[in-house]
Structure formats: C-alpha cells, structure tokens
Amino acid sequence: MKKDKILVIGACGQIGVELTLTLRKIYGDTNVVASDLREEHELLKGSGPYVSLDVMNKEMLHVLVIRHNITQIYLLAAILSATGEKNPLLAWHINMQSLLNVLDIAKEEGLDKVYWPSSIAVFGPNSPKETTPQHTVIEPTTIYGISKFAGERWCEYYNHRYGVDVRSLRYPGLISYKSAPGGGTTDYAIEIFHEAQEEKKYTCFLSEDTYLPMMYMPDAIRATIELMEAEQPKISVRSSYNLGAMSFSPKEIAAEIKKHIPDFTISYQSDYRQQIADGWPKSINDELARKDWGWKPDYDLPKMVTDMLKNL
C-alpha cells in the first residue's frame, strides 16, 4: 500500500503553519514536507522536514515531488485581496501559474490528491449578498477574486478532463492567533485583537456596518482535513465548496471584545479595502458542504472572541 507523503506549499503563512502542524499530527512528522519562499516559521522549526521553494519554478517543484515521493499537495501560496490590488498583474501571474504548475505535476505524476483554497472573493457586487448560494452570479471585481474564479474553473477542468482529485473550499475571512495574516481585506478582524490588548483602541479600515463572512482557524483546518478525507463519491463540487461559520460587522466584534476589555474603544477610517469588502457577500450558504461531507462549524462570534483573547 502506498503511504501518504504530503507537500505543503506556502507553509509559513497564516493557514500554512497551523495546517502543517495538524497534518504532521495525523500523517506523522516526517511524512509532511513544509515549503515556502520565506524562512522557516518559528512554530514549524524542529517539527518536520522543511524546504525552501518557489512554486513558480515548475522544474524545481517537479524534482521535489519526485525526490520526496509526494502523493498529496496542499497549495497555499497566493497573493491575497488587498496586496493583489497593489500589483494586479503580479497577483494574477502568481495565483494562476502556481496552481497550473501544481495541477500539471499532479496529472503527470498521478498524485493521489491536491488541495487548493478559493475564497468568498469569487463573488462580486452582482452576487446575492445574504446567504450567497453555491451556484449564482459570479462576477468578481478584484484581481484576487478573478484569479480565484479562474482557478476554480481550472480545478474542475483538471478533475473532469484528467481525473486529478483536486478539492477546494471557498474560505471566508480567517481569524487566528498563531501566525500573522498575509494582506487580506478581512485582516481587520485579527488586528483588532492585538490593538485591543496592547492599546485598548483600534482604528478600523472598514466602516462599522460592513458585514463579512468569517471563520475561526480551528474550524477552517478541520473543514480542510474533513474535505480531504471524504470518500471520492461524496465530493459533488469540483470547483470549490462554499463554507460558512459566522458573519459580523466591525461594530459587532468590537462590542464582543468590549465584554472582555471594557475600556476598549473603536473608531473608523475606511480606505481602499472598503470597496473590496463592499463587493463581497455578507453571509454564505454552505448547505452543499453540510450535505456532501457533513460540514458543521464549531465556533460562533462569542466563542471565537473568548478563545482569541485567552490565547493571544
């Protein structure tokens, strides 16, 4: 029987660190190779193999996959929404070419599985705002959203045409305390905790009533593993699954933090990220993920805030 050997690309990012550590617990430390452009993250040091890799270099990636007998790839390297708007062509190039490199090597080497995350950013201003369905108008207006939507089509194409078992989730904004976020529009929901604890005040770059779908990192990691461990016939969506947990505005999360830090205050000064957030859904309908492979979130806003403040 073939043993699972996993490569995580972008392992030093916000999701990568926690996902790598979780995968190492499940599959064994030496069976999960972490890789990134950056220096190895402090939390990964000593926990398993680490290689320096630029996913844009297809030959190097191919050699790495063969040399380490890789059977599964988790591709997390990407340029996120806010950073993407600063250099759209670079964001498009990196987000697309990294995925094509991975999908093509998966096809050539007959890899067992590939994981690649999409985002709520695939939706645009013309999509329904409330409980946005899986299948609806998808007209993203950010380069990040455009690249995620194109990526979803490539995933489905490689699955239908070549049988590559690629699986994907449209993550909402992810909130975590172990590793820093990487340039997204939902990053305010992490910054606010640090500022609340250190300064007792926070100036938010989104307006007080900007509702966005959000999720606590432990739920996101569990969803990822559950999707990847689901039996093949259960996976009916080969583009990317809607995934939901909670939805709140800056005003609501500030009020929840105030229950723990009574002298915390928030003010608002919207910047270019407001327009990005205004084009995204307020909440997500994830009934297909629930039906197909049993998705159920664990954390709501009060539970997440309590846990964040306990662990920061």
Instruction: Assess contact for 258 and 196: CB atoms under 8 A.
Output: no
The residue from 50, 74, 115, 144 that is catalytic is 144
CB of 77 to ligand NAD, least distance (A): 3
Instruction: Name the residue type at position 80.
Output: L
CB of 76 to ligand NAD, least distance (A): 4
User: What character string, x for contact with ligand AKB (CB under 6 A) and - otherwise, covers 98-137?
Assistant: ---------------------xxx----------------
**Smaller CB separation from ligand NAD, 150 or 258:** 150
Ranges within 231-270 binding ligand AKB (CB under 6 A): none
CB of 82 to ligand NAD, least distance (A): 11
**Smaller CB separation from ligand AKB, 70 or 121:** 121
Give 100's contacts (C-beta < 8 A, 6+ positions apart).
154
Tokens describing residue 61: 């990636």
Residue 149 CB neighbours (<10 A): 21
Q: Does 284 bind ligand AKB (CB under 6 A)?
A: no
- Cα distance between residue 178 and residue 188, in whole Å: 16
Give 42's contacts (C-beta < 8 A, 6+ positions apart).
none
**Smaller CB separation from ligand AKB, 143 or 164:** 143
Ranges within 65-94 binding ligand AKB (CB under 6 A): 80-81
Ranges within 151-210 binding ligand AKB (CB under 6 A): 173, 184-186
**Smaller CB separation from ligand NAD, 218 or 258:** 218
CB of 71 to ligand AKB, least distance (A): 28
Instruction: Assess contact for 186 and 247: CB atoms under 8 A.
Output: no
Query: Which residues are near ligand NAD by CB under 6 A?
Result: 9-10, 12-16, 36-38, 53-56, 76-78, 80, 94, 117, 119, 171, 173-174, 181-182, 184, 186
CB of 162 to ligand AKB, least distance (A): 27
Give 310's contacts (C-beta < 8 A, 6+ positions apart).
none
**Smaller CB separation from ligand AKB, 105 or 246:** 246
Tell me the C-alpha to C-alpha distance, in Å, between residue 72 and each of 193, 259, 296. 35, 43, 25
12 binds, among ligand AKB, ligand NAD, none (CB under 5 to 8 A by kind): ligand NAD
Tell me the C-alpha to C-alpha distance, in Å, between residue 265 and each of 197, 203, 282. 11, 9, 24
HSE (side-chain half, CA atoms, 13 Å) at 122: 28
- Cα distance between residue 232 and residue 26, in whole Å: 20
Chain position carrying tokens 């455009």: 146
Is 144 a catalytic site residue? yes
- Which sequence positions are flagged as catalytic? 144
Task: Report the interface residues with ligand AKB, using CB under 6 A.
Answer: 80-81, 119-121, 144, 173, 184-186
